[in-house]
Structure 1
Amino acid sequence: MKHSIICVGTHRTVHFAATELARHLRLATGRAWSLAEGSGTSPAPLRVGVCDDLNITRPRDLKDDQDWILVRQSDSGPGYVLSGCNPRSVLMAVYRYLRELGFRWIRPGDRGMIVPKLRDPFARRLHIDQRPAYKFRTVCIEGACSIQHVLDMIDWLPKAGMNGYFLQFRYGTTFFKRWYEHQCPGRNGSPYLSPEPFDQQTLEQHVSRLETAIADRGLNFERVGHGWTSAALGLPGEGWDKSDYNAIPPERRDWIALVNGKKELWGGIALNTNLNYSNPAARNAMTDAIVEYAAQHPQVNLLHFWLSDATNNHDESPESRAVRPSDFYVDMLNELDEKLAARNLPTRIVCLIYFDLLWPPIRSRVKNQHRFVLMLAPITRSYLRSFGDRDPSGEKPAPFVYNKLKYPRSLEVFEHFLRQWRKHLRGDAFDFDYHGLWAPYRDPFHFTVARTLHRDIQRLKDIALHGYNSCQVQRLSFPHHLIMEVMSRTLWDPKVSFERIVRQTFADAFGAAGQRVARVFDQSSKLCKPMFDPVYVPEKDAPAHKAPLRADKRRIAQARRNIPKVSKLNESLKELVLKELPAAKGAVRWSWRYLKYHTRLIDLLLPAMLAYLDADPTLPRRMDRVYDYLWRTEKLLHPGLDAFLMIQVLQSRVREVENIATAKAQ
């Protein structure tokens, strides 16, 4: 009786929550905890279940699709009731209770859990009655990842109060292939890790494990996105690989968008190819594929319907040019809704504001508001400013010019387009953003992007967005986990200050010396800010992808002055590591080990960045040393660091300098 847990209800996630509670308490107390099924009135020190099954009244203003957790003392003696408004919230309540007891999960996976030593888990008087501020709190797969990397992320999500996972494409093939084939941008593969067996059967087994993990935790499950244009053509849409045009059935080839007088796969890639949306047969093929997928995957809560992942490549026939792409998009949304309704499928569809679809429809209107969730994807934005910040550039929304569109960098312009779209879709909406994808490798100390993320999430409600879906690498805990902590904690409570999150994150990860580490990272991040964005930028009014580039001399000069200061700060961290690492244990020891490897990485990266600032022809050789270090240490650091994405971002710096050299030679 003293060490017993009663699980109330039959839902698999409630059972999982009770099992997790028993497992964690055994680790903390050294005693086994019995687990039994019972009713809402069964006597036990710990009762776990949905509020309705425990005869607990939920808040009156709580909507069906919101989360709410309750941790309160038991009425029948020492102990607690751990509850929520749905099974997922019950699991979150369990983890919140464990956090109050001293448990921490400072990064995903086995390297992240801190277990307290407890004599009496009921000694503290707790009462927690909370609901998160934002409805959508989701992580999306990106980068290079193994199934274990993804499972670790899914496991961490409810521990941090996050409630959803998004698997891009049907299987996320390209992200898994990058890891199992140990791909390296710019070369055949890793010089230190051999490719691992990977085929369609293995991939499907991985996805099955992923689905089980999501279902166990009751998380919202989102899928697909890009790839429906490929499906209509009978081609796979699992990434940005070249596709075989001859594999398209002859009767479907005419569906491909006519661009520059040609009907071709855009760049040879099906995923990047638009169709002729004025052709009803092409539209039907896409919407039929979506309906069939929804029927076969009832576990998917939100099914993303996106067009191609390229720009300015819509069909140029007279019938198409007379209509905005967003009008055709809304036509397809309405057609899709009718087909889903005819088959009694409740699946909600995520539609997006992205690239060419930023410009809202003129003639078409969404008929069923409830079916759709609007998603803003500001991929060309700046990460040095946040929503609501005034942009000193004075950038204005560009006019709609068919297949000659110019995409905004200013968040004020993105907000303008969002307001226009909200006239058409007034229901649920969220920000699909990229703070955790490329930006962490432009700011190797992470504080600049973490601050931007904190302000962005705080301000989502001000622009009528109801949450955040993070398109990001799955391994983002090297050298620390601040970006993830800022995301999860601010989505739950936007009132929590950035400084408070920093204090808690670094105290948990590094112990008593955590604030010293945080100050060094914060200072280093500010010093690197002048070179966060490319320092070689297009001439004014020139397309961003074309030469010539010009040097931003002011930022280059500031960055050159700052690099020696960053180097000095890095030396101070080395001294701190030497002092603290020997005595550190468990997850905290991994924090110090990561920091040790990070200081060595910075030693290599700073000379390379100096060569970048000087447009020095030795830059490729200096960057090769950085790449080699990332590859050599990947076997140890891979749970926390996505070397593939970091190298990809660093290579973009090399291309800038090569562009400058090419322009000078002409």
Structure 2
Amino acid sequence: MRGGGTDRAMSGRAGGMALAGVLCAAVSSPAGAQAVGDPGARPRVVQVVLPAAPTPIERFAAEELGRCLQLSLGWQVQVREGAPRGDARPVFWVGTAEAERLAPVPAAWARGKADALREDGVALRGDGRNVILLGKGPRGALNAVYTFLERYVGCRWPEPDREYVPRQRALKLDGIAFVSNPAFPYRGIAIHGQCSPEWFTRIVDWLGKNRLNGFQLFIGHYETLRPQVLAEVQKRGLSPNIGAHSREFFFPAEKYFQEHPEYFALVKGERTPHTQLCYANLDSVPQYVENIVTYLQTRPEITMVGLWPSDGYGFCECERCQAGHVTDVILNYTNALARGVAEKLPQMKCEFLSYIHYTVPPKEVRPLPQLVPTYCEYWSRSQFHPITEERNENRRCREELAQWIALAKEVTLFSYYGDDCIKRFLYNPLEDVVVTDLRTYHKMGLAGHFVLLTNPESWWSQAPHLYAYARAAWDPAITPRQVAEEYYASLYGPAAKAMQAHAAACRALFDLKLVQGATGEEVLFGFGFPHYDVAKDEESRAQVAAAIERILAPLAEARGQRGGVGAAARGEAGGRRALPADGV
């Protein structure tokens, strides 16, 4: 009897694992290829006028405007500095919204809109003969150009190395009066996986085109990439946030432990170099600060430095560390670091990590103004549903985040929308979650986000919701439907509706209530069924087969339109993703 019971249990587990494997296989999607359209050429000549002595970012903005106008309309674009020449019209005035640097035509518009613009914000005006594209701050001109191209030409940049520039016969340039500011000051991607310089350059280009303004990297990764990517970063005016779990770099145990073991954590009665510092001991702060400042002085492009503890646990168990609230102890030490950095580099922002067991806000210590706490939701919240839904520990995350926002001058969020570990390396578009979340966070007063991406060169698996993040980080009023329509149309052309249906079917699988009592999300997240009733095996297989058919059917429809995609691509400039191959 026991043997029979064991065989039966193993059979049930095998059946459950088999179905779970089929479910996992059903929500994959391949990478794409590029198709290039020929927009033709037209004889019209237009001028792009920059301020006298333009910045490199303004020059790049003019290049991008000219490139896209030529691709879309065939216009020949002449770039001037200071003033136009001759009678060629229209004239595009591009620059930062500093009236004293501008010619009279754009200067008047800049003065009138100066109070309406925040950092990175844009002001556009067009009367048919003159088109003024201005923005506030170093990135402002580039943001203004991309806003114009997106809003009035119809360009889209759904993924790195994927550009949609529609072919136009004419462009309406009168009646333009548009002012827009980003909802969040910090808008960026945290790249915590390996990434080649070539692919990182594509990401940098995508960030700039979608008006995101920063990225986060570990120091070692940044040092590897920097020689080949810095020029691309700087001409887009992006703000590097470098450091993250940086303790080992700035205060390595191999250099300091032997002479000062008291600087390091006491774990199980012994000082150890392998985990954390003793954060109640501020004697290590001066050397730590000196190391940070020395590094930053050689990297003037960095605008924020991450001063996170080592990843994981292993915190100090000494009496002084245990006597205080854990968040207070770590925050007090990080405040001391930030204070020391500010003495030498007063404009530098420092980043404090609120993570694992120290997401709880401090009881007594308050972050210094130059220290930006980043709240890390991690595994505790549901990544498959909006933060407003009462799932997992969403309520606790909302409450803790609200408390941090009340305590600090600026607070950001470290989001896990692109974490393949939590997402189980599956294709599960979350546009609705991202847009809903960003609306909530904007109302709460959050200063911004860095969205974790663990496998940046497998961008496709996170692409729909990363595009949603880029769009909603500027304007949370955008709808999930609008985001989805833009994304799929710009990638797949006539096959967009079918591919959107495919993505929706993948997403629906996560909410599907299975015969075995679990949801698809629970099965996929746990790599198996919590309980498997062999008596329902046949019914379970039929249910899963039907779900998979709903996923695959739109692909068959899309493949039937591949010729249409090619024809459409000839009418646009830029690349489209190829349709998935047979068998997903």
TM-score of the two chains, using structure 2 as the length reference: 0.79
- Residue 214 of structure 2 corresponds to 164
1:596 is the counterpart of 2:565:
no
Whether contact under 8 Å (2:405, 2:446) holds in the other structure is no
- Residue 504 of structure 1 corresponds to 486
Counterpart residue type for residue 501 of structure 2: R
Aligned residues: 513
1:3-402 equivalences under 5 Å are 3-9=46-52, 10-39=54-83, 45-52=91-98, 53=102, 54-55=106-107, 56-57=110-111, 59=113, 61-62=115-116, 66-74=119-127, 78-99=129-150, 100-109=152-161, 112-122=162-172, 125-166=175-216, 168-172=217-221, 204=224, 206-233=225-252, 250-266=258-274, 273-311=275-313, 313-366=314-367, 368-369=368-369, 371-380=370-379, 381-391=381-391
1:435 is the counterpart of 2:414:
no
- Structure 1 residue 435 displacement after superposition: 0.4
Whether contact under 8 Å (1:295, 1:345) holds in the other structure is no
Counterpart residue type for residue 111 of structure 2: T
Choose from 389, 396, 402 the match for 1:413. Answer: 396
Counterpart residue type for residue 374 of structure 2: M
1:338-378 per-residue CA deviation (whole Å, 9 max, x = no partner) reads 32343253101121211132133334334x42x12221111
Counterpart residue type for residue 145 of structure 1: C
- Structure 1 residue 125 displacement after superposition: 4.7
- Structure 1 residue 553 displacement after superposition: 5.5
For 1:518, what is the secondary structure of its paired residue? helix
Distance across 2 between alignment mates of 1:123 and 1:228: 53
Distance across 2 between alignment mates of 1:588 and 1:12: 26
For 1:524, what is the secondary structure of its paired residue? helix
- Structure 1 residue 121 displacement after superposition: 4.1
For 1:87, what is the secondary structure of its paired residue? coil
| Change over 3 Å in CA distance of 1:424–1:310 after alignment to 2 | same
1:579 is the counterpart of 2:560:
yes
For 2:144, what is the secondary structure of its paired residue? helix
For 2:232, what is the secondary structure of its paired residue? helix
Whether contact under 8 Å (1:444, 1:525) holds in the other structure is no
Counterpart residue type for residue 321 of structure 1: Q
Whether contact under 8 Å (1:234, 1:249) holds in the other structure is yes
Whether contact under 8 Å (1:228, 1:306) holds in the other structure is yes
- Structure 1 residue 3 displacement after superposition: 2.1
1:370-397 per-residue CA deviation (whole Å, 9 max, x = no partner) reads x122211111222133222234xxxxxx
Counterpart residue type for residue 210 of structure 1: V
Distance across 2 between alignment mates of 1:562 and 1:233: 55
Distance across 2 between alignment mates of 1:277 and 1:73: 57
Counterpart residue type for residue 464 of structure 2: L
Whether contact under 8 Å (1:480, 1:591) holds in the other structure is no
1:21-75 per-residue CA deviation (whole Å, 9 max, x = no partner) reads 12222223334321111159998611111122331126465575x221122115x
| Change over 3 Å in CA distance of 1:259–1:87 after alignment to 2 | same
For 2:192, what is the secondary structure of its paired residue? coil
Whether contact under 8 Å (1:287, 1:332) holds in the other structure is no
1:465 is the counterpart of 2:464:
no
| Change over 3 Å in CA distance of 1:82–1:588 after alignment to 2 | closer
| Change over 3 Å in CA distance of 1:116–1:550 after alignment to 2 | closer
1:524 is the counterpart of 2:506:
yes
Whether contact under 8 Å (1:222, 1:302) holds in the other structure is yes
1:426-457 per-residue CA deviation (whole Å, 9 max, x = no partner) reads x111211010122785474423x332222111
| Change over 3 Å in CA distance of 1:208–1:533 after alignment to 2 | farther
Distance across 2 between alignment mates of 1:68 and 1:338: 30
TM-score of the two chains, using structure 1 as the length reference: 0.70
215-224 vs 575-584, which moves further: 575-584
1:137-177 per-residue CA deviation (whole Å, 9 max, x = no partner) reads 111113332111111011011211212122x221326xxxx
For 1:172, what is the secondary structure of its paired residue? helix
Which has the bigger relative contact order, CA under 8 A and spacing at least 6? Answer: 2
Distance across 2 between alignment mates of 1:150 and 1:249: 36
| Change over 3 Å in CA distance of 1:49–1:363 after alignment to 2 | closer
- Structure 1 residue 332 displacement after superposition: 2.2
Counterpart residue type for residue 415 of structure 1: R
1:551 is the counterpart of 2:530:
yes
| Change over 3 Å in CA distance of 1:479–1:298 after alignment to 2 | closer
Counterpart residue type for residue 356 of structure 1: H
Distance across 1 between alignment mates of 2:112 and 2:139: 15
Counterpart residue type for residue 383 of structure 1: Q
- Residue 486 of structure 1 corresponds to 468
- Structure 1 residue 459 displacement after superposition: 0.6
Whether contact under 8 Å (2:351, 2:373) holds in the other structure is yes
466-475 vs 527-536, which moves further: 527-536
Counterpart residue type for residue 372 of structure 2: V
- Structure 1 residue 329 displacement after superposition: 2.3
Distance across 1 between alignment mates of 2:404 and 2:524: 34
Distance across 2 between alignment mates of 1:351 and 1:376: 9
Counterpart residue type for residue 310 of structure 2: S
- Structure 1 residue 306 displacement after superposition: 0.8
Provide structure 1 residue ranges, at least 5 long, that are not aligned to the other structure: 174-202, 236-246, 267-272, 392-408, 539-548, 602-666
- Residue 193 of structure 1 corresponds to none
Distance across 1 between alignment mates of 2:457 and 2:176: 33
Taking only aligned residues, the RMSD between alpha carbons, in angstroms, comes to 3.2
584-593 vs 477-486, which moves further: 584-593
- Residue 433 of structure 2 corresponds to 452
Whether contact under 8 Å (1:259, 1:316) holds in the other structure is yes
Counterpart residue type for residue 452 of structure 1: V
Counterpart residue type for residue 165 of structure 1: F
| Change over 3 Å in CA distance of 1:562–1:494 after alignment to 2 | farther
Provide structure 2 residue ranges, at least 5 long, that are not aligned to the other structure: 1-43, 512-518
Whether contact under 8 Å (2:49, 2:81) holds in the other structure is yes
- Structure 1 residue 17 displacement after superposition: 0.3
